[in-house]
């Protein structure tokens, strides 16, 4: 990325509002619409821009249980555990981690009972070495990094 600061500025606007119209983005960044169009396409091709997501309040949609789960498996089962978690539609986000654990999983369910059933279901498929469950009481910030164009370049 040749002009990193300019790219970060464009990305920060898209982080703040991914549905922003290119005309509005052009006025805010003083970059021509055609250039913005080409840049956004390039970000997608290069894999810089991975997804235009919609962040919703799961609680308002009836999903009252959101949990962060740390999981570890024996070495021979690690790949299978990753595959099971990756394919699950109840897993909102999945990270590989270190420091004694293999995966950090964010799951969303109607209630705690379903969270427990999910973990039991994983254990039926893969032998787990360890698990630690944390229920999310309140979301204070989400996808905030690089979402304030005013801070780019500071």
Partner 1 sequence: MKARERRVLNELRKDSRASFTAIAANTGIPLSTVFKIAAKLERSNPVRYACLVDFEKVGYPFRIGVFIRADKRHEAIEFLQSSPSLNTLLRLSGDCGLYAELLFKNMPVCQDFLEMLREVSGVRNASVHFLSVVKQEDFDISLND
CB 92 within 8 A of CB 108: yes
Supply the minimum distance, in Å, between the C-beta of residue 143 and partner 1.
Answer: 5
Supply the minimum distance, in Å, between the C-beta of residue 71 and partner 1.
Answer: 12
Beta strand 103-109 with 65-73 is antiparallel
109's tokens: 């369910």
Q: For residues 123 and 135, which CB has a smaller minimum distance to partner 1 in the complex?
A: 135
66's tokens: 């959101």
Phi, psi of 70 (to 5 degrees): -95, 130
Supply the minimum distance, in Å, between the C-beta of residue 97 and partner 1.
Answer: 4
Supply the minimum distance, in Å, between the C-beta of residue 121 and partner 1.
Answer: 14
Q: For residues 56 and 123, which CB has a smaller minimum distance to partner 1 in the complex?
A: 56
**Which chain residues interact with partner 1 by CB under 8 A?**
1, 4, 7-8, 11, 14-19, 46-58, 60-62, 68, 70, 82, 85-86, 89-99, 101, 103-104, 108, 110, 134-148, 151, 154
Q: For residues 20 and 123, which CB has a smaller minimum distance to partner 1 in the complex?
A: 20
Phi, psi of 52 (to 5 degrees): -95, 100
Residue labelled with tokens 């654990």: 101
CA 147-88-19 angle, to 5 degrees, is 30
CB 33 within 8 A of CB 26: yes
Q: For residues 125 and 134, which CB has a smaller minimum distance to partner 1 in the complex?
A: 134
Supply the minimum distance, in Å, between the C-beta of residue 27 and partner 1.
Answer: 18
Q: For residues 46 and 75, which CB has a smaller minimum distance to partner 1 in the complex?
A: 46
């Amino acid at each position: 990325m040749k002009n990193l600061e300019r790219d970060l500025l464009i990305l920060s606007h898209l982080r703040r509002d991914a549905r922003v119209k290119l005309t509005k983005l052009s006025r805010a960044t003083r970059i021509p619409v055609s250039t913005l169009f080409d840049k956004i396409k390039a970000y997608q091709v290069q894999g810089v821009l991975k997804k235009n997501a919609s962040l919703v309040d799961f609680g308002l949609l009836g999903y009252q249980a959101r949990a962060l789960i740390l999981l570890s498996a024996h070495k021979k089962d690690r790949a299978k555990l990753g595959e099971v978690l990756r394919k699950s539609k109840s897993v909102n986000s999945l990270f590989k981690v270190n420091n004694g654990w293999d995966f950090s999983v964010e799951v969303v369910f109607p209630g705690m009972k379903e969270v427990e059933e999910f973990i039991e279901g994983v254990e039926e498929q893969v032998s787990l070495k360890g698990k630690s469950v944390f229920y999310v009481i309140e979301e204070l910030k989400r996808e905030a990094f690089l979402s304030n164009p005013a801070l780019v370049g500071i």
